[in-house]
Structures are given as structure tokens and as C-alpha cells.
Amino acid sequence: MSVPSGPRIITSRFDVADGHTYAGYVRTGGYVSLRKAVSSMTPQQVHDEVKAAEIQGRGGAGFPAGTKWGFLPAGVHPRYLVINGDESEPGTYKDRLLMERDPHQLIEGIVIACYALNASQAFLYVRGEMAHAQERLAQALNEAYANNMVGRNICGSDFSVDITLTWGAGAYIVGEETALIESLEGERGMPRLKPPFFPAVKGLYMQPTIVNNVETLANVPYIVGKGGGDFKSIGAPTSTGMRMFAVSGHVNKPGVFEVPNGVTTFRMLFEAPEYCGGIRNGGSIKAFIPGGASAMWFFPEHLDMALDKPTVDKAGSMLGSGAIVAMDQTTDMVAACWRIVRFFARESCGKCTPCREGTTWLERVLKRMLDGHGRPEDIDLLFEVSESISPGIAWPPRQTTICPLGPSAVSPIASAVRRFRHEFEHYIEHRRPIDGVESPFATHLASHA
Amino acid sequence: MSRLSEERVATAKEIIGRFPRKKSALIPLLHLAQEQDGYVAQDAMVHIAELLDLAPAEVYGTASFYEMFKFHPVGKYCINICTNISCQLVGAWNLLHHAEERLGIKSGGTTQDGLFTIEDVECIAACTEAPALQVNYRYRYKVTPESFDALINDLESGKLTGEVPPHGTLASVRQTTTAAWSNRGVEEQAQVDAR
Amino acid sequence: MTDTAAPKTTVNLTVDGRSIEATPGDLLITACERSGSFVPHFCYHPRMSPVGMCRQCIVEVEGPRGKSLVVSCMTPVADGQVVSTTSEPAKRAQEGVLELLLANHPLDCPVCDKGGECPLQDQAFSHGPGESRYVEEKRHYEKPIPISDLVFLDRERCILCDRCTRFAGEVAGDPLISFTSRGNNTQVMTFPDEPFSSYFSGNTVQICPVGALTSSAYRFKARPWDLEQVESTCTTCSVGCRTVVQSSRDELVRYQGVDVESVNWGWLCDRGRFNFESVNSKNRLQSPLMRKDGTLVETTWSTALDAAGRILRTVLNDKGPDAVAIIGGARGTNEDAFAWAQLADSLGVTARDAQLGDGLPSEVFALPQATIAEACASPTVILLAPDLKEELPVLYLRLRDAAEKRTTRIIEVSPRATGLSSYAWKSVRHDPGDQPRVVSELLSDRDVVDQLSRGNVTVVMGRGNLAESPEFTLLATGAVLAAVPTARVLPVVRRGNVRGAVTAGMTPQRPDADTNAILSSISAGKVECLVLVGADPLSDVPDADLVRRAFASVKHVIAVDTFVTDSVRHAEVVLPASAYGEKVGTTTNCEGRVSDVAQKITTAGTARPDWMIAAELALELGVDLGISSYPELRDTMTSSIAAFVPAADAKAVRGEGVLTAQSAPIRITATPRSAAPRLTHQFRLHVSRVMYDRAVSTNESPSLAPLAREAAVHMNSGDAQRLGVREGASVRLSSNGSAVVLPLVIDDAVSRGVVSVPFNQHGSDIRQLIRHDVAVTDVVVEVI
């Protein structure tokens, strides 16, 4: 199977032993773009390159970063750049690598972005559980400050910016940008309603704020160095550049890959020897999650679809945060569905009633089924409760909640129950999974209450 | 049950100085408290409230939202075993079950010697290395029952003391405020707030 | 048609088929409700910022991008919106949310205080799905738990609407309760060992949309369907909050705040909310008393009135009207005070005072006046007042709100930090007696001058220090009025109806006839008969020595009161008075707003309203005041006192009430001066009231009485260090030949060189050091 190829843009230093140090970074071409930007480009020119690159945000929503930057109201200061390094979507594993292995690349991207945005303060918010990333970033920031790449009069220009490194303390919801802002303000990480609080207008401290994902900003040095046109020429016109995908689950070689965006297919990722090299034990795909736990599931008929945002959107799911989870024919779909619902129930912030009460309700019904106490009416009940969280149970989801967390818990139910209804019915009737399917539980689930 | 040490207060003040508004330093300061005592002590929260001009209830309100903060002593080593989808698919529950048997505690519990706590946690962003766990937020990949037992042995024997600090310590390197700090953003916000 | 782009002042939308107009910025939920479509809701509260938390108020809106479900409490109105509150999708969403809210809510309505008046119960019937399909285990918590002395929390009933927590942080500024934990485990909690001891905690009970918060004073006292209620005005302090007075089986059981725009926005302080208990007290005077062989014994009204009449007649005949003095009137209604003033007029008694030497000269009511709303809308408020959080708590809420919304800047000049200090733009300390100088200096500060030019300036002035002559604050106010001629004044006297009583005529009718002068005249043998109308000088007059000597030598005391107070114990004749809730009338708040107080229950025993007692006593003395009924009295008062003319219409005094008519304002002409500086080894004394003290309405309310603290002396940590004295140590304060011993509290709200002692607390009486004729009180502090 031949797969499309492209340059390694943001993973280029993953194999460089000292790529995370200032010396290693500079030796491999680092901080050239920053110097170029502050010495020979106007902020608008930098912004224009990012716009021309048409890079879609890599955090989950896929909104074009250059367009987002343009939402800052003119002349309102202070304004902030907040970097979302709170990677927590199940299946997602790439921002952590970028922070651990190439922290200077991220810092360079941040400083260039601040230059383009005319922001003088950035907050780099790392997930609390990522001690190694925090360490690497602290080290890199201290070096960058010492070498005049951050701070006062960067590279001798009159541009100054500070980056405050901080981290969370364990809350998935803080990955949502308004919850992240709340957390940065020292609050409980509960999302704000948009409108009125569009961060670009009223964000951190009610000032204009751009929230960008780590991977998005890590691409900025390349875009500024090579030009937005160069970046746009990679991948598909509708999904530009290279993009990182983490492929986990029932594949032979799970891994994180930087692949040409929009042209690589799911099958290539699962089967090509340079990627995952096939389904484990020579098995076959029963279902897969194309873009994180919040996404609607895909099935074998979607395997030849390209990892292209509009294509996947149209098919009723999303690429989200680049998290692909493969489930082979032995997968217990009731257990898989329950596990993802349990995640959302545990991570609900508790603000909106439908999410706070509904996700837990769904989780308890599913767990009851797994425990052998399912009732025939429970399947309809799952949909009824889902309907109260996400009216219509459609894609893109409508929601009775502020943020998409609650509706995200509906995705696995809508996906699994619709496709594998017989597995749920079997659990209800026989108190065990269908034949040929492996329960993931070593003992009865109740022991893990 | 302690307030922050003098040294940590100095660090706290440095951290506070990096934010335009004091309350933003709340989570970092809670981490300092947890680093000091292994958990967030009640007195430490009162102390943090004083440092940030908050009511202790506000400190606790924020702190208790976040799963990493513990309000009672936990094991010196917190072993967080991921059971989320990617790990569940490749045997995470078996691993958790093994861990429970090996340590004689249930998920959420602490061994009597105060050495180990195990938790069943949500995705820790090591999905391609499943099943994965963290011990005091240091990763272990593709964990098998055997490698889990070896980990426990190494922790018990002190072999990993350098690599795995006691619970509460995250990064071993801190951002330092250098002479290059520009302070522009903090000052701009202070002007807006004064209006 | 013109092209000028004037900002739009209205938007047009359709709600459930009706075309309506709304103001830009209005929320959909308020527009819907105004148009007659009730939208179910729990977290939304019109006096707090919307959070969109319960999601109950979902409606369907058709806009340019098609139909969508939105929460109406966070969606602003927009031109052309077509809103349906009852479309199928809207109803489905509302039912869904209600089912989810009920999932974990216990079905204990029959034993819940809220049952029968519960928004969750009501809306479950009107907008709910009818039945719950939830069969899982509900959340369980220990319940109920006391979160303060006054409030219990049942976390199982809580629906996490954020009303109480928002109120605590956003409205009261006491963020002592917070959401804790997350998701389905979210709870409202205090910090361990730190109770929700807010002065405003009762409001959370009132606004709780379920029975999660209950008050110790009302728990299990009544069921809503047994309640009778009437709207009234609180007279605990001079803010005059609108209330609903509720009774069950002819006993007061609860007060609830009523939202009026001009005054309290629905809020009450805990003291005003819970002191209904004192009306029900067993210790209430039930019948007249007369002194017999040295003790007070019960008697009949005719005997008592006859005796009181005889005393007055004798003194009037023998010594003339100047030998009689009347103190009181501020705890009653306008009409009560008017009747007593009429009686005094008819007898020629000119020595009468509704204040007890602890207020302000009555001329402050003749300065150019500002209302509460005007003060809160002023760009600048100059605060020369006591701690409003302690004394006029709901005015504190209003000013705090104005400061927090950044529409008002507060400049505070006070002898110690107050509840408003942290919200003030500038908060400046002064030594007692030095306020005029400090204010004058501030008035020449460049920033302040600039600030004062930004629009209206209101001086909120009151008696900030009972150990200091009120003239300093008057002079300081004069300095502001001289510098800013358009400035206006909001006088904040403490006691409920001082302003009404003064307006009605219960104020000295000649120089040297105020309470302090009356007490001096008693000691000098010039006044022989003292009539107390709801006044307890022995407890309230700051100069303890003055009042003690007067009571030791007074020949006759006639007292009208609800309880046997320290002062009443000296009376020969005691006439029991009806209390709040037992009589009708009107009251006048600090801004001159007249509103009605209502009768809800039958009076205790044979007690009568003050006015009736005045009329009957008049008859004993052969005078007919021409008032045989309340309506007659009302008419006489509003036709004979110009200021009360606007209150003549009975409808005008309901709801928002009506402002008294103002005559041309007077000016303060005296030149500002300050007291001599204190000697370096001395401290200057500051004495002021705190919310919970030995006041009879607090002391006789079982829920509130324990909240009064022991007296203590508060001192700055620097001074304490200099004196080498620790917290809790006993210190002796001496001045003017008297001394008191009090425990020390280290308190940096107090400036260096000042010691501060709360007034009227249990323990040693600081009033022993206060002399009414000494401008400031300097004390020597010794450690013992």
C-alpha cells in the first residue's frame, strides 16, 4: 500500500537527542523564523502567512487559526494568547509529545503568534498530570528567556512578550477554551456561555483572548519560515499541512504519526507498514473512533475515507483532536460504550443539569446492563435521556447544555446502540456479552465500582 | 496540616507576580501546598487564601474541582492506572485487578504502610503505549503484571527515588523570573482593572 | 426618514404569537414573562447575574439561521426573534431538564419546609414529565447540616442552581459557601470549620428554589398553606426594607424580603429577617404594670392610665410643662410619634426627643437630600458614616453593588476600616475628632477634585463614633457641601423611624431640650417626670454616667414599651405597647420615604398602639387629640404636617412608598475645625454599633441572641506590639475618672492610636468612659 508522503514539520526533532534543548533547537534551525518575523515582517504580514496557510486548529474544533486571530477587536489592550496544552481527550496523544520533545518549537510559535496578535502576555497552560512536559517547558522557557527569545526586546527588536507557564490539576473540561480561561483565573473550570463570552472579545480577565492548541502553534515557525503557501500546498486543499494522529487500540503497531492532512485514509493508517501495520492477530475492524471519545464512531465502510475535515464532517463525525481508536471484532461494544460514557460522567463539570444528571444516569444504566441487571426498557431509556442532553441525537449535535461535553456522552450511545443493538439486548437477556466477544473485565465489573 | 514554608511563600510570591490578577495563582499555589505535604492541608488552604485575598471557601471550591488535589494524606506513591478506552481495549482492567491483588487494596485505597495508593483514572495521553499508568505522574508504558510487580519492587527498595519524587512534586524544574521579564501584560491589565 | 444612527431604543419580537417590544439588552426570559408567557426556571434570579446553569428556561427561537433551542436567561432579545415557550421541542427540552433535576431530588415534600411554595414542586407539576423513570440509587449525603447558626443545608434536596453561592459572593460579598467537588458530586459547602456567618444568610433560604436551605427560625414552624401574609416595611433600622410578614395561627413565623426598586431589591439582613421572634417572646409585656411597694405589679388599663394621668397632672400643675420630658418615638410608626407630639404640644411639653444622644442633629434632614437610589447612581459617594454593614446592612448591599459595578466610586473617611472599605476607591482613616481636617485635605487632592467633577456627589453621613461629638461629621459634611455646592446628603441614622418621628414632631422644640439636656435637667431637679415611649436610655444613651445619675434622681417615670427594659424597671407606671406586626401605620426611612407597616397578628395581651395610648392619656388629662381611630389619625397627620402630605394617599405608601416633601434646604455655615490632638500616651476611643448586640429585639429572639459577642477592645497590631499585649489579654481603659476592663482583640481594621469598642455588648460597659459634653474621648490603656 503506498501512502502519501510529506515533510516532517513538527516532529522533525523527535529523533534528535538534544532537540529539546536550546542548543539542539538552534542547531537544527530553530528560532530562525522568530528572528525573521520580528526583524523583517510586520505583525500583519505574519498574520497573513498564517491565514494563507489555512491551518485548521488542531485542538478539536478545526477552526482556521488565521481566521480566529482576525477576531481580536482592534485597539483593545491588553490582549492575551492562551495556549491550550490540556490534552485530555481519550485517545489523544500528540501535544504531550510536542511539549516534551520539542518545547522550543512551541515557544517559538507562541512568541511569533504574540507578535502577530500584538499581545504582550501569553499563558501556557499544560495539563496537570504531565510532569515531564512541565519540566521540559520550564527548562526551555528559562533558556529562551536567557537567550532573549522571550521577554524584553526580543532579538533586539522593540517587541516584548512574557510567557507564563502554568498547569492544571486534573479536569478534562478545562480543555474547553472558556473553562480553560476560568481555570486560568483560579476558578472552577466551568465553561462560560458563548455568547456573550467569545474569548476573542471577552476572554481572560474579560479582555480579548486567543486560545490556540499546542500543535497549531507548533506549526507556526514552519509557516513563517517557509511561507503560508508552502504549508497550504501540503495535504488536501480542504485540510492543509501535515497533521499528527495517534492511532491506538487493536492495531499491531499503535503510534503517533505526522501525516499529510486530508489525503491519508483511515485504512492507510491502520494497515500500511509505515504506520500501524494491520489489525492485531490478523483480525478485522468492527468499529473505530475517528477523532476522540466525543466523536461518532465509524465502521468498516468508512475505512477508505480520507482524513479530511469536510469529508469526515459530512459523514457524520469529526477528526477532532486526531485520536483514532481501532476496535476489532472481539470488542465488547457495551463495555466500550460504557467506558466512554463513564468518562464523560466523571468529567462533567456539574454546571448544566442535563450533563451533570444525564451523563451519570446514562452511565448507571449501562453499568447495570454490564452487571447483569439490564431491563428491556433500558435501551429506549438510553435514547430518551440522550435526547434530553442532545435533542435529535444528530450530528453535529444540538445541545441543551453550554458546552459539548454532555452531548459527547451521547455519541458512543448513538453509535454503539444503533449499530450493535443486539449486543445490548443480549446483555439484558443473558447477562453476558455475545459469543466471540471478550469482556474487558478480569472479574465482575462490580468489583471496580 | 501545615501552612506553606517560608521558602514556598517566596516561590508563591514569584508565581503571583506572573499573573495580572492574584487569583490566577491559586492552582499553582495549591500545587505548592501538595508538593510540601503530599496533599493539600486545610491550614495550607487558609494560608493560600491569605496570600491571595480570598475566602478559604473559595480556595476549597476551586481546589476540590480538580482531581489531582487530595485533601487527606495519600500514599507516597500514587499509581494511576488508566482504564479509558484505548487502555481498556488492551487489558487495563486486568492490570488494575492485578494491582489491587498485589497491593491488597481497592482502587482509591492506600496501603497500610502509606506507601501506595492506586486509582483507576481517565485517559493520561499515552494511548499508543497502552496499557499505561503513572506513578506520581511519571509514565510507565505497556505495563504487564510482571512489569507492574517490578515497579512496585523498585519503588519499595528505593531504586527509583531519583526518578520518582514523593507524591505532590510535579516538575523538578521551575520557571524562574529572570531579568528579561518584561511585565508589560501584567501592567496593562492593572491599568484596566484600576479604571 | 433620517440617516442619523441614533441607538435603537426598542426591539420588536414575537413571543408565543404576540408581538412585543423590549429594550435592547433585556434578557429573553424577562421579555417573555412581561408579555405573559411564564418560562420555567430555577437558577435565574433578576437581581443576580445569569449563569445559565439549570437549563430549565429553554425556549425555541427562530432567527435568521433557523430554529434553535436557547436558554432564555442568557439570551438577549433581538429584533425579529420569533420565540416559542411552548413549542414541542421547547416543551420536550423543559420536561427533559425537569426529569433530570428530579432524578436525584428526594421525594420528601411532605416533610419539607418548602413543600407548598416550592418552585421545583410547582414547576414539576406545570412543566414536568409527570413521572420519573429514574430507578438508580439517588445521591446521599449527611443531612441536614448546619452551615451557620441560622441556616441548615440539605445537600440531597439541592439542585445546584448557584443561587445561594452567587448571592454570597456577588451580592453579599461573603463568599463563605462555594460549590465543591465536580460533576454529579458537586455540592454547596462551607470551608471546614468556617461557617456561613454572613449577615445576609437568610436571603439564601428565601431564594433557594427547593428546600435545600432552611432557617433555624422557621424550620417545621408552619406549612405554606397555613400561612397568612401581608406586605409591610421593616423598621429594624432606617433603610426601611419592604417585607412580607407571615403568620400562622396568629403567631409571626417568617419575614420575607420584597423586591422594590428604590430600596432593598428583595434582600433583608438577618437581624431584620429573624427578629420577628422577639414579637412572640414570652417576656412581652401583656398588661399594664404599676409600682407597688417597690415592685412592678400587673394592673388594669384604667388604673394605669389614671395613675399616669395623675402623675402628669401633678407635675404639670406644680412645676409647669418644662418639668415634663418625653423621650422616644423612633421605634414606632409616624402616626405613633405624631400622636405623642400632639399630646406634648397640647400640654406645652417642649423637651422631647426621638433620639437618645446617639444620633445626629435633626437639621441633617433639612440639608439637600439624596435618596438611596440617587446615592447608588452617583459617580461619587463620600462616606462619613458608621459601618453600614453593621448598622444599615441593606444600604451596604446597595452601595457595594454600585461600587462593584463600577458606576460609583466610594470615598470613605472613617475612624476604622468598615465593610465597605475594600470596595472604596479611597478609604482614609482619621483620628476621632479629626474628620473635618482630613476631609478638607482630601477635597484639595487632585485626583479627588477630578473625581468630584464627574457628576453627582452624595455624602452618606451618620454617627460613625458614639464616643465623639456628632458635630465633626456635620462640619465635614459642610466642607463637602461648600466645595461641591450640588452635593446632596443621605443621612443614615440607625434607629428605624427616627426620621419619621422627627418629622412628626418628636424633636426638641427649644434649644437644650434634647435627650442629653433632658437627662441633665433631671439631675438638676428641673425635670421631674420622664415619659419613655419605646425608649431605653439606660441602655442606649452613650454617656452612661449622665443617664445613670438622671435615673437615680428622677421623680417619676412613665414608660410605654413592649418589654421591661432596664429603663422601664424605673417606671411607676408601665403601659404595654403593641409591637411590629401588631399595628398599622407608616414609617419613614433614612431617605424620607414613607411606606406602610401592616398588622398581621393580634396584639400581645392587652397591649395597645403607642398612638392610642397617647390619645387615652390625653383624655385622662382632659385633652381631646381628636383621634379616635387610625384613619382619623392618618388624615390629621398628613393634613397638618407638610412633609407628610404626599403620604396622604393610602395607595402611595404601599410598594415603593413615597418621599416626604422637602422644604428649601438649609446650609451648614460653621467653619470646620478639629479636636485637639491626643496626647501620645493615650488612645482615642471609637465606639460603634455592630449588628448583633443587646438590643431587645435581638436579645429576645432566640435565633439571634447567641450571635451577640462579648465586649472587647480592638487595637491595631502595631500598638499591641508596642504595649507588649497579646490577643485575649485583659486591658484597662480609663478616661474621665472611670475605667473598664475588657479583653483585647488585635484588629488591623483599627488605626494606630485608636482603640475601638463595639457598643452595647455583653460584658463591661464602655459607655462609662463616654461624656456627652466632651468632644472626643481619650483613654489610657493599661495591661493588667
Chain A residues close to B85, C-beta within 8 Å = 90-91, 249, 289, 293, 325, 336, 339-340, 343
% of chain C at pLDDT higher than 90: 94
**A3 located within any domain:** no
What DSSP character marks residue C170?
A: I
Contact A255 B128 (CB under 8 A): yes
Query: Hey, which residues 89-148 in chain C have their CB within 8 Å of chain A?
Result: 89, 92-93, 96-97, 99-101, 103-104, 133-134, 136-137
Place of cell 453627582: C456
Grid coordinates representing B99 are 494491582
pLDDT of residue B178: 73
Residues A41 and A123 placed together within one structural domain of the fold = yes
Per-residue pLDDT, averaged over C73-81, amounts to 94
Of A348, A388, A398, the CB nearest to C184: A348
Query: Which residue segment(s) compose the domain that A303 sits in?
Result: 234-328
Q: If pLDDT is split at 50, 70 and 90, which confidence band does C268 have? A: very high
Q: If pLDDT is split at 50, 70 and 90, which confidence band does A196 have? A: confident
To probe the interface with B, which of A127, A129, A329 has the most B CB atoms within 10 Å?
A: A129
Query: pLDDT for C52-65, tens place per residue?
Result: 999 999 999 998 88
Contact B45 C191 (CB under 8 A): yes
Residues A222 and A238 placed together within one structural domain of the fold = no
CB A46 within 8 A of CB A93: no
Contact A356 C159 (CB under 8 A): no
Q: Three-class SS of residue A293?
A: coil
Residues A270 and A183 placed together within one structural domain of the fold = no
Dist CA C146 CA C130 (whole Å) = 33
Query: pLDDT for C445-504, tens place per residue?
Result: 999 999 999 999 999 999 999 999 999 999 999 999 999 999 999 999 999 999 999 999
Q: If pLDDT is split at 50, 70 and 90, which confidence band does A444 have? A: very low
pLDDT of residue C4: 52
pTM given for the model = 0.95
Of A171, A357, A400, the CB nearest to C104: A357
Which of A313, A328, A343 terminates a domain? The answer is: A328
**A292 located within any domain:** yes
Domains of chain C by residue range: 11-102, 135-279, 289-359+498-659, 363-492, 683-783
Query: pLDDT for B33-61, tens place per residue?
Result: 999 999 999 999 999 999 999 999 999 99
Q: State which CATH number among 3.30.930.10, 2.60.120.260, 3.40.50.1820, 3.30.70.20 fits the domain covering C135-279.
A: 3.30.70.20
User: Which CATH number does the domain housing residue A413 bear?
Assistant: 1.20.1440.230
Which chains lie within 8 Å of chain A at 3 or more CB pairs, if any? B, C
Dist CA A177 CA A302 (whole Å) = 30
Query: pLDDT for C156-188, tens place per residue?
Result: 999 999 999 999 999 999 999 999 999 999 999
Residues A152 and A121 placed together within one structural domain of the fold = yes
Residues A318 and A338 placed together within one structural domain of the fold = no
C53 contacts chain A (CB < 8 A): yes
Grid coordinates representing C508 are 426638641
Residues A258 and A314 placed together within one structural domain of the fold = yes
To probe the interface with A, which of C67, C184, C185 has the most A CB atoms within 10 Å?
A: C184
Dist CA A71 CA C387 (whole Å) = 46
CA distance A231 to chain C (A): 34
**A214 located within any domain:** yes
Looking at every residue in chain A, the average pLDDT score rounds to 96
Query: pLDDT for A391-407, tens place per residue?
Result: 999 999 999 999 999 99
Residues A85 and A167 placed together within one structural domain of the fold = yes
To probe the interface with C, which of B60, B122, B193 has the most C CB atoms within 10 Å?
A: B60
Which of A231, A259, A288 terminates a domain? The answer is: A231
User: Which CATH number does the domain housing residue A103 bear?
Assistant: 3.40.50.11540
Residues A185 and A97 placed together within one structural domain of the fold = yes
Secondary structure (DSSP) of A420-449? SHHHHHHHHHHSSPPTT-B-S-SS-GGGG-
Of A345, A347, A400, the CB nearest to C97: A400
Which chains lie within 8 Å of chain C at 3 or more CB pairs, if any? A, B
**A197 located within any domain:** yes
pLDDT of residue C6: 61
% of chain A at pLDDT higher than 90: 96
B134, closest residue in chain A (CA to CA): A129
Q: Three-class SS of residue C628?
A: coil
**A190 located within any domain:** yes
pLDDT of residue B1: 55
Residue C595, pLDDT > 90, answer yes
% of chain A at pLDDT higher than 70: 98
**A10 located within any domain:** no
% of chain C at pLDDT higher than 70: 99
Query: pLDDT for B101-128, tens place per residue?
Result: 999 999 999 999 999 999 999 999 999 9
CA distance B14 to chain A (A): 11
Contact C93 A356 (CB under 8 A): no
Per-residue pLDDT, averaged over B160-168, amounts to 95
**CATH code of the region C289-359+498-659:** 3.40.50.740
Secondary structure (DSSP) of C316-363? HHHH-GGGEEEEE-TTS-HHHHHHHHHHHHHHT--EEESS-SSS--GG
Looking at every residue in chain B, the average pLDDT score rounds to 96
Q: Which CATH superfamily is domain C363-492 in?
A: Dimethylsulfoxide Reductase, domain 2 (3.40.228.10)
Of A193, A196, A391, the CB nearest to C92: A391
Radius of gyration of chain A (CA): 22
Architecture of the domain spanning C11-102: Roll (3.10)
HEC secondary structure over chain B:
CCCCCHHHHHHHHHHHCCCCCHHHHHHHHHHHHHHHHCCCCHHHHHHHHHHHCCCHHHHHHHHCCCCCCCCCCCCCEEEEEECCHHHHCCCHHHHHHHHHHHHCCCCCCECCCCCEEEEEECCCCCHHHCCCEEECCEEECCCCHHHHHHHHHHHHHCCCCCCCCCCCCCCCCCCCCCCCCCCHHHHHHHHHHHC
To probe the interface with B, which of C182, C194, C201 has the most B CB atoms within 10 Å?
A: C194
Query: pLDDT for C104-150, tens place per residue?
Result: 999 899 999 999 999 999 999 999 887 889 999 999 999 999 999 99
Looking at every residue in chain C, the average pLDDT score rounds to 95
Which domains does chain B show, CATH number per domain?
1-73 (1.10.10.1590), 77-157 (3.40.30.10)
Contact C192 B58 (CB under 8 A): no
Chain C residues close to B195, C-beta within 8 Å = 406
Of B25, B97, B122, the CB nearest to A443: B97
Residues A182 and A275 placed together within one structural domain of the fold = no
Per-residue pLDDT, averaged over C502-515, amounts to 96
Q: If pLDDT is split at 50, 70 and 90, which confidence band does A446 have? A: very low
CB B49 within 8 A of CB B56: yes
Candidates B124, B117, B123, B134; CA nearest to B78 is: B117
pLDDT of residue A86: 97
B54, closest residue in chain C (CA to CA): C175
Residues A262 and A226 placed together within one structural domain of the fold = no
CA distance A360 to chain C (A): 7
Q: If pLDDT is split at 50, 70 and 90, which confidence band does A447 have? A: very low
C185, closest residue in chain A (CA to CA): A350
Of A351, A353, A361, the CB nearest to C136: A361
Residue C5, pLDDT > 70, answer no
Query: pLDDT for C688-738, tens place per residue?
Result: 999 999 999 999 999 999 999 999 999 999 999 999 999 999 999 999 889
CA distance A229 to chain B (A): 32
| Residues whose CB falls within 8 Å of the CB of residue A414, separated by 6 or more in sequence, listed in order | A296, A386, A393
Contact A353 C136 (CB under 8 A): no
Contact C182 B54 (CB under 8 A): no
Contact A90 B27 (CB under 8 A): no
Query: Hey, which residues 342-371 in chain A have their CB within 8 Å of chain C?
Result: 345-354, 356-361, 364-365, 368
Query: pLDDT for C215-231, tens place per residue?
Result: 999 999 999 999 999 99
pLDDT of residue C339: 98
Residue C2, pLDDT > 60, answer no
A154, closest residue in chain B (CA to CA): B180
Query: Hey, which residues 55-94 in chain C have their CB within 8 Å of chain A?
Result: 55-56, 58, 68-69, 71, 74, 76, 89, 92-93
- Cα diameter, chain C: 91
C78-87, C130-139, C464-473, C661-670: lowest mean pLDDT where? Answer: C661-670
C-beta neighbour count of C316 within 10 angstroms: 19
Candidates B17, B9, B51, B4; CA nearest to B181 is: B17
To probe the interface with A, which of C42, C61, C100 has the most A CB atoms within 10 Å?
A: C100
pLDDT of residue A448: 44
Query: Hey, which residues 277-296 in chain A have their CB within 8 Å of chain C?
Result: none
Per-residue pLDDT, averaged over C317-333, amounts to 97
Which of A209, A231, A253 terminates a domain? The answer is: A231
Dist CA A6 CA A277 (whole Å) = 19
Q: If pLDDT is split at 50, 70 and 90, which confidence band does B193 have? A: confident
Residue C603, pLDDT > 50, answer yes
Query: pLDDT for A330-368, tens place per residue?
Result: 999 999 999 999 999 999 999 999 999 999 999 999 999
Residues A164 and A254 placed together within one structural domain of the fold = no
Reported CATH class of domain C683-783: mainly beta
Residues A409 and A427 placed together within one structural domain of the fold = yes
pLDDT of residue C676: 85
Total domains in the fold of chain A = 3
